[in-house]
Every structure is written in structure tokens, then in C-alpha cells.
Structure 1
Amino acid sequence: MKDIAILLFDGFEPLDVYGPAEVFGCIERLDTSGKAPHVIYCSLEGGIVHGSFNTDVQTIALSAVQDGVTMLIPGGPGTRVLVKDQEFLRTLRQQLPRFSQLLTVCTGSAVLAATGAIDGRRATSNKRSFTWVTSVREEVHWIGHARWVIDGDLVSSSGVSAGIDMALDVTARSYGRAFAQSLSTVIEYVWNDKSEEDPFAAV
């Protein structure tokens, strides 16, 4: 499994980041081969990024991230600004081919969609923000009832805690279902392992 580069920006949602980071970061507790993935925090230019609830994180520049890793884009109130930031979107679009897999949590899918890179592909997002997200880029095939959606090398999840379920599923596809179930026990999390079961879709 490849390293995970989490793209941060001012106003990111902490659980969108740290839920999946906990899953991927704890893989090494069960995989003692020395090949467990590492979690990398990056931003467009590097430096300290300010998340919601006074969550400050030191990051490296996106351009410094090694080719071939997995990128995860979280959501949060900051995405409302990013989808209109043409310089950010242009730079992100240029960098995307370097990554082997793209993951999004919550409204992170709106940011990815705004680059135009996933036109015609299937994706989902936070159901409380679904009307706004789908308005950002109508060319994406938005799935309204899904905890997470897999479309090849693109995996998008619904809001906030759904990122943990998605991360466990991504782990299961690399390490096997039993490994992912053991990992969910390690982090004491009840895994919703069925992507089509979305209890918040009716919101």
C-alpha cells in the first residue's frame, strides 16, 4: 500500500483528516514488514496550515511529495473558498497525475471536482452540503445515496466520519478484509463496511 499524502488548507475539517490518518497510520501496528504506509501532511506551498477548531499543522509543499503515492483531500469550511481559487485549482490539476490514487472526504470532492479532473466519473460527498457540492461541477456523476463510492483510482466518501469507513475499505482492498476488521478493533471503531448503506442520505 502506498504512502498517504493528505492535502491540507486553511479551514479543513479535523476529523476528515485525522479519522483516515488514524486508520492508515495504525496499519504499522499490524503490518510488521516495514512496508506499512506513512501519512504525509502537505499543502500547496508548505508551512503551517490552520484547520477548524484551532487545529494547526506543519506541512510540506505539495510539489515535494513523492510521485506515486495516494492523495487524500479532506473537506471543511475552507473548501468554499478553494473551489473559487483558480490558482490553487490549476496547480492541483497539474499535480494530480503524479498520484496513484485519489481519496476525498466530505466536501473535499467538491475541490477535486472544481479542477475538472473527474468529469464523467462517479463521486459522493457530505449529504448536508450535497446541493452545494453538486452545483460546483455538474459534469461529475454525483451519487446521492452512498457512504463512499469507488470509481477506479478515485474513492470519495460522504461527510466527516465516513472517511474512516472509506479508509478501512481502502485498507481492506490492499491487506484483506480480516486485516481491516482487526484494524477497526485496534482503533475501537465500529466499521460500517457497506458502502451503499448511507444513513445520512435522507438529510
Structure 2
Amino acid sequence: MQFFFYHGMVALDVTGPVDVFHAADELLSRDGNGEEGYELLFSGRTPGPVSTSSGLRLHAETSPVVGEVDTLLVPGGMIAETASEDPGNVLAIQMATRKAKRLVSVCSGAFLLAAAGFLDGRRATTHWKVADRLAELYPDIRLDPDAIYVQDGHIATSAGVTAGIDLALALVEDDYGPALAIEVARLLLLYRRRPGNQSQFSTTLAMQARAGKRFKPLVDWIEANIEQKLTVDRMAEKANMSPRSFARIFPSETGMSPGRFVEQLRIDRARELLESGAEGLEGIARESGFGREERLRRAFQRRLGISPAQYRAHFIKGEQHDHRSRIRNIHL
């Protein structure tokens, strides 16, 4: 696996995936089953130190390697768009990917893959902050600006920074099966896996952004009391408004009715409980404010299209499958 370095990239876009792949190597070595894991190669336009956006210096060991490179990974950075306008960077990426079986970008690294011509007509994602700009420059990309990561054939793209860790876990699962991905997540104290189509934002952050400064204290109070009965009258009282004014103003400022707003926060709480391995759907229903398992199930089916049990299985279940022994050459 080869990583492509350029000045101004985000360090975590590199170090997050590197630690995931390294942890996979450690676990494969511990098992002693002959699987060789990942060989990590670090390249840049020229060998030498590369400054990241935080000032941390990483070292490019080599110029881009042309050959049987399994995966090329391109990190993002606030200057990724500028870096993508440099013909030297684009040419280096094109050369390194001539025989690569898989192309990966983290965050705004999608600008460099797009400039090299690899994202035209494909589904992709990037950091929400630069999604509009990427779509403007490359209208042929089928951009999903809300996804954590997107895998379209042999090309995978992720949202900002820590989403690169989610994508790296997904790649480990693709390469070596869910059992190893689960062990890597446990070793690094990560969630088993967030699905790629999960929103880049937690619902709480999204709801707070919707509510704005005026209703932020109310959102905080709702979160702290999510398991209670939350009527319009009660929320209006906490917002120091009459029920009639609250019912009129709240939707106009948030784009949601109070009931839908609360349900979305409850779904988010239930998701957190399911992802953490909490047992008993009845208990999860009570803690998240749905009261009964049936109400929890109906809300999940209506809003997410799956049952709570299916959602939990996505995180904590998986059967190990056979796969061929291989060395993955990753170039950052």
C-alpha cells in the first residue's frame, strides 16, 4: 500500500489509516497463520521530509512507485485543491496508479484523484466543507456529500479526517474478513464499523446546527432528558415561549416539527446504545425515550429502513471468511 505525500496534507489522514493497517499486521503476525498483511510505502514527488498542516513532518521514502502496487492512498488537506492544480502532483499520481488495483482518498484528497481523472462518472464523497467546490469543479462526479465513505468499484473515497479510519477498517474487512476488522477496532478502541452511508455528522451536531443559538439550550435540555415525555408544551416552557409561538417558530428555524426533531435525537441515542453493545431492545427503547421496543422498531424502519436488530448486527456481527494470503503495498 502506497501513500502519496504532499506539503500541507493533514497528518491524521495519514496516521489514522496507517495505525489501522499496522494493527492488522500485528494481529495477523500474532495469529501465525502465514498471512503477510500490509507493506506500507510512503512516497512523494521527491523523497524527503514533508510538512503537514499541523507542522508535523513525515518522511517520503521514495518517489511514486510504478509497478504492482495494490493500493494508492491520497490524504487530504486544506490546500488539496491547490495541490491538485499542480501538474507535477497529478502526473505523479497517474504514474503511481498505472497498475494499482485500488485507489483511495481521504477527505479532500478527492481533489487530487478527480484532477487525475479517476472520479468522473463515479460515486464519491469528501469533507462536507469542500463538497460544493468539488462538485463545481468536477460536475461529472456523482457526489454523496453526506456519506462517511463511498466505495465504487476499485475506487474508495472518505469524508474528513477520522472517516479515513472508518474507510481503512472497511478495507481491512474487504481484504481479510470481518473477524480481523473487529479485532482491529477492539485493539484501537474504535467502533466496529460505521456504515459508509452514515451521515458525516452525528444527529446531535446536525440538530444543534439546525436549531442555532436561539434553541441550543433547549436541544441540550432535550438530550439530557431524552427518556422523558417531551410534549410541545413542555419544550415551549423550557424555551420560554408560549406553545403556540413555539409550534410556529421552531419549525421555521429548524425545518422540522418539534416531534420529528425529538424523534431524530432519540434515534441517534438508540444508535449509540446499539453500537456500544447495550443488551435488550426494551431497555434501549426506554433509555432513548421510545418507551417500547415496538415504537423503537417502527421509528428505525421509517427513518433508516432497517430494524434495530439489523442495525446492531451491522456493527458487532460478522463471520470470518477464507481469503488468499497476500502482501498489500500501500503508498500514501
Normalization by structure 1: what TM-score?
A: 0.91
Residue 22 of structure 1 is matched in structure 2 by 19
2:64 alignment partner, SS class: helix
Residue 80 of structure 2 is matched in structure 1 by 79
Q: Distance in 2 between matches of 1:91 and 1:36?
A: 26
1:133 alignment partner, SS class: helix
2:37 alignment partner, SS class: coil
Residue 95 of structure 1 is matched in structure 2 by 96
Residue-pair matches, total = 200
Q: Which structure has greater helix proportion?
A: 2
CA RMSD, aligned part only?
1.8
The Cα shift of 1:66 comes to 4.7
Residue 41 of structure 1 is matched in structure 2 by 42
1:88 alignment partner, SS class: helix
Change (3 A) 1:133 1:26: same
Q: Distance in 2 between matches of 1:143 and 1:62?
A: 32
Residue 189 of structure 1 is matched in structure 2 by 190
The Cα shift of 1:34 comes to 5.2
Deviates more, 1:90-99 or 1:30-39: 90-99
User: Identity of aligned pairs, percent?
Assistant: 26
2:91 alignment partner, SS class: helix
- 1:143-178 residue CA offsets vs partner (Å, 9 max, x unmatched): 123111111110111111000000001101111112
Q: Distance in 1 between matches of 2:134 and 2:11?
A: 19
Tell me if structure 1 keeps the 8 A contact 2:72–2:102: yes
Change (3 A) 1:48 1:29: same
The Cα shift of 1:38 comes to 2.0
Mapped pair 1:161 → 2:177: no
Q: Distance in 1 between matches of 2:11 and 2:64?
A: 23
Residue 175 of structure 1 is matched in structure 2 by 176
The Cα shift of 1:135 comes to 2.2
Residue 60 of structure 1 is matched in structure 2 by 61
The Cα shift of 1:191 comes to 3.7
2:105 alignment partner, SS class: strand
The Cα shift of 1:16 comes to 0.8
Tell me if structure 1 keeps the 8 A contact 2:66–2:98: no
Q: Distance in 2 between matches of 1:185 and 1:65?
A: 35
1:37 alignment partner, SS class: strand
- Give structure 1 stretches of 5+ with no counterpart: none
Deviates more, 1:60-69 or 1:150-159: 60-69
Mapped pair 1:31 → 2:28: yes
Deviates more, 1:91-100 or 1:153-162: 91-100
The Cα shift of 1:69 comes to 2.2
Mapped pair 1:146 → 2:139: no
Mapped pair 1:5 → 2:6: no
The Cα shift of 1:104 comes to 0.7
Change (3 A) 1:66 1:58: farther
Change (3 A) 1:54 1:197: same
Tell me if structure 2 keeps the 8 A contact 1:127–1:200: no
1:194 alignment partner, SS class: coil
Tell me if structure 1 keeps the 8 A contact 2:107–2:160: yes
Change (3 A) 1:95 1:65: closer
Q: Distance in 2 between matches of 1:134 and 1:58?
A: 32
The Cα shift of 1:182 comes to 0.9
Residue 221 of structure 2 is matched in structure 1 by none
Larger radius of gyration between Structure 1 and Structure 2 = 2
The Cα shift of 1:63 comes to 3.4
- Give structure 2 stretches of 5+ with no counterpart: 210-332
- 1:66-107 residue CA offsets vs partner (Å, 9 max, x unmatched): 523211001012313212112321332233222111111000
Normalization by structure 2: what TM-score?
A: 0.57
2:9 alignment partner, SS class: coil
Q: Distance in 2 between matches of 1:191 and 1:107?
A: 24
Tell me if structure 2 keeps the 8 A contact 1:114–1:136: no
